[in-house]
A and B are shown apart, each in its own frame.
Chain A
């Protein structure tokens, strides 16, 4: 297990290197001058030149790349001029906000989605199955920004039940934070929930039609055990794959949702960074997302070892 983890860890290094290179190139292709973005269009030419020199932008592209990579190796993610802070510290400070929102959304999405998927598989081709699978299809296809706006319109503006934006304040009590979390949480949970439901359903249907399930029934094993122990454990691998991808993409993909609800997390920060041509911050957040993806994939691989005895350690 340890040997495999180490091997997987070493394999991630080339992936991350490629990600870093591509983001570096893409940020340099953004139109607009970061120095102008910081100082404003009415700044004097010499101030702008001084700023460019300070940000190493006056150097050639290969030289900039070399400086960036050597900085990364030393653990220096760069300095964010739009927030006037270290990029690394900035990302770390935003993680708890995003993590709390996405984890709550994912936990709900996972349990509800899986439960619906199992129920739909058992009741395959009944009205229950049809209704929930159509709902799941709608859930996957719905544009998040549109749904977020509609939810705000209905629950915050018309019914005045929930707050429109922000994160709430712990000092005002637990309820305040929770009420702020409901709408963005629901938006974030929709796609994962629908994906879980659909994946679970198809995986469960396949598992429940296999020979050994029939044999378990022939051995007089109670139905709930057949489904929840044997069926579920056999149906889990595709679900774990989806879960791994969803954790990473929800965590980093909260950009739209956080933007709409002004949730002070990673997503809002990425928005600001792009608007301000904040090269270091864009590069930092993209690298961070890549690390998240790689890490979740590693967890999925580990989970396979536990779930499927046929996967041997290499």
Chain B
């Protein structure tokens, strides 16, 4: 995972985030590593509860409760150790250098303050400029993200805007600072399809303009193909596969990735065909970490899968897989269902 050091903007290494609950320790993220280069886009995919969102909020050190703790690993942003950053520096980092776009734009803005107030508040929090300058800057940003009648929108309350509009406002807020990294946590899930495309286009064009890296979390494999340079597939808190988008779609190696790609609906298929699913359910996160987390749903399971955790191995340059049967020495071919007599 070693790219030329100067290009790497974000490096996450062996990140573990545990939730301490009354019924035990939930290993929400249990050893995730990746790097993100300047100006590039990385996608994180996986089903609900696989730790995508927790991973991304950990980069911002935004834990939802005191029971959620980063217990191990490191997060490095341009040679700065984020986990050791002081609260004061963290405030400067959040919202200025690193921005986050959340899933539901309608609830992402404070409902009782006008859009303009919230934008000015944020700009002035990071830049020592007057209210008027901040106001002008906010109007500029709204224009940049393609909001018509920007001055008028500054006086609007969030509930007076549509979902797509709110998401644009939030993106505009990100643009007001000097964002080097934008974390987009399912930015289009709550929007309808045409607006989705517009928002993604907007993100792409801003990325080009500002040379920002994007960490995109999504369920939508189509969006990944469209937007991302690299993809990380997560399952039950672990990275299971990590590669260039092209490589991953062309020759996926982990059985879970095969399942994910198979479950995409195909335009060519007839309407009566049932969607393919991966049988079974993800494991209880309190019980993971003793064996391959996917063993109970994997058609290629072996004795070894039940006994030990598969390490993340670089099988080909830039292509990482965590599977006992795909570690270079062994090469599993898709469709060769269990020769181990299961």
Contact = CB atoms under 8 A, between A and B. Distances in A.
A interacts with B: yes
Nearest to A212: B110
B265 interface: no
Interface string A23-51: 00000000000000000000000000000
Interface stretch (A79-87, A103-111, A147-155, A217-225): A217-225
A211 B113 CA distance: 15
Interface in B36-84: 60, 62, 64
A307 B113 CA distance: 10
A219 B157 contact: no
Interface of A: 210-212, 214-222, 225, 230, 233-234, 307-310
B95 A211 contact: no
Contacts of B62: 214, 217-218
17 contacts: A212-B108, A214-B102, A216-B110, A219-B99, A220-B91, A220-B96, A221-B91, A221-B95, A221-B121, A221-B122, A230-B112, A233-B113, A307-B112, A309-B112, A309-B157, A310-B111, A310-B159
A123 B102 CA distance: 26
Contacts of B95: 218-221
A262 to B, nearest CB: 46
Contacts of B221: none
Interface in B143-188: 157, 159, 170, 173
A225 B95 CA distance: 15
Contacts of A218: 60, 62, 94-95, 99-100, 102
Interface string B111-122: 111000000011
B100 A308 contact: no
Indicate the member of B110, B125, B173 with the most A CB atoms within 10 Å. B110
A87 B125 CA distance: 59
Given A233-B113, A234-B110, A211 B125 contact: no
A222 B92 CA distance: 10
A210 B104 CA distance: 12
Contacts of A234: 110-112
A220 B109 contact: no
A210 B107 CA distance: 8
B137 interface: no
A217 B112 CA distance: 17
B297 interface: no
Interface centre among A210, A212, A219, A221, by most B CB within 10 Å?
A219
B219 interface: no
B225 interface: no
A234 B96 CA distance: 25
Contacts of B94: 217-220
Given A219-B94, A220-B91, A220-B94, A212 B109 contact: yes
A211 B60 contact: no
B111 A309 contact: yes
Contacts of A233: 112-113
B112 A220 contact: no
B204 interface: no
Nearest to B93: A220
A214 B92 CA distance: 16
B319 interface: no
Contacts of A210: 107
B286 interface: no
A66 B188 CA distance: 69
A66 to B, nearest CB: 50
B122 A212 contact: no
The 5 closest A-B pairs by CB, nearest first: A220-B95, A220-B94, A219-B95, A211-B107, A218-B100
Interface in B228-258: none
A309 B108 contact: no
A308 B94 CA distance: 28
A222 B125 contact: yes
A311 to B, nearest CB: 11
A220 B102 contact: no
Contacts of B64: 214
Nearest to B157: A309
Contacts of A221: 91, 95, 121-122, 125
Contacts of B170: 215
B122 A220 contact: yes
B143 to A, nearest CB: 20
B93 A230 contact: no
Contacts of A215: 100, 102, 108-109, 170
A210 B90 CA distance: 21
A217 B64 CA distance: 11
A219 B122 contact: yes
A179 to B, nearest CB: 42
B85 to A, nearest CB: 12
B110 A220 contact: no
A307 B64 CA distance: 27
Contacts of B108: 211-212, 215
Interface string B315-326: 000000000000
Contacts of B126: 220
Contacts of B173: 219
B107 A212 contact: yes
A220 B90 CA distance: 8
